[in-house]
Structure 1
Amino acid sequence: MSAAKPVVVYQYPNCSTCRKALKWLEAEGIAYRSVDIVARPPSKTTLAKVMKLAEVELRKLFNTSGQSYRQGGWKDKLATTSKADALAALAADGKLIKRPLVVGEDVALIGFRADAWAEKLLG
């Protein structure tokens, strides 16, 4: 994967897990472009791509331990919110999104688990 087009890593600079993930990418020699998920959250189109590539349901994109999730009442309203509206909310507030979020041409990863990243990014 390292010779391919760099993956985009949506991360929050103050997040220790995100920093650990970036160090892992560097140690493995994987090319990436870092994007501050709060300053420039991924678009609805990108988030839909992530769902498809990662084969996850919408709720897996949410940072359920975050303040935006709790204050927004997403635990209760996620079940009744349309997919389009939920994706719009995620695209508008990067802190709602579970991070780090990796997006490549044919890969998407949500959160950091070294074993899962190695399987998907190193083959």
Structure 2
Amino acid sequence: MIKIYTVASCSSCKKAKEWLEKHQLAYQEINLVTNHIGREDLLEILSLTEGGTVDIISKRSQAYERLNIDFESIKLNDLVELIEMNPTILRRPLIIDNKRLQVGYNDDEIRKFLPRKMRKIQIEAATERLYQFDLEEQFQEG
């Protein structure tokens, strides 16, 4: 099951949810303001990052500026506790399933949440459209 961590006022979160709904993918929404994000969830998110905290902490958030913490030197337990107490410090949306994480909304990257079979069909359809486009261009030129 896909989980998406959001904030109601976030336009990228709205886009991500709309994309998931359009592609009929079931998801569980966790609002970072109204729902508690637990230690286990945070550890799961961190385990899926490539760069650790740099990937998921929003340096533009008010919480980040207010806390003024060196995230390079903070211990893991302290970090998890800090995020639990200040969940809006996280970038959003955070979209995860059992093996993938996407931070923020990106129209191309979010496709990784589609089942492989569906991705293959979409690639084949796009390839066919390109082929048709090339034929039309050749016909117009010749």
Q: TM-score, normalised on structure 2?
A: 0.73
**Shift of residue 43 of structure 1?**
1.6
The reply on whether 1:35 has 2:30 as its aligned counterpart is yes
Which string of whole-angstrom CA distances, capped at 9 and with x for unpartnered residues, describes residues 8-50 of structure 1?
1110011111111111111121111111111224222212211
Contact 2:2 2:26 in 1 (8 A): yes
CA RMSD of aligned residues (A): 1.6
Partner of 2:84: 91
Moved more, 57-66 or 8-17: 57-66
Higher-Rg member (1/2): 2
Partner of 2:110: 117
Partner of 2:97: 104
The reply on whether 1:12 has 2:17 as its aligned counterpart is no
Percent identity of the aligned residues? 22
CA distance in 2, matches of 1:59, 1:90: 13
Q: How many residues align?
A: 115
Partner of 2:56: 61
Q: TM-score, normalised on structure 1?
A: 0.83
Higher helix share: 2
> Relative contact order, CA 8 A, sep 6+: which one is greater?
1
CA distance in 2, matches of 1:35, 1:61: 16
Q: Relative to structure 1, is the Cα distance of residues 41 and 55 closer, same or farther in structure 2, using a 3 angstrom cutoff?
A: farther
The correspondence for 1:80, drawn from 68, 73, 79, is: 73
Structure 2 portions without partners, runs of 5+: 117-142
Structure 1 portions without partners, runs of 5+: 1-5
CA distance in 2, matches of 1:86, 1:51: 11
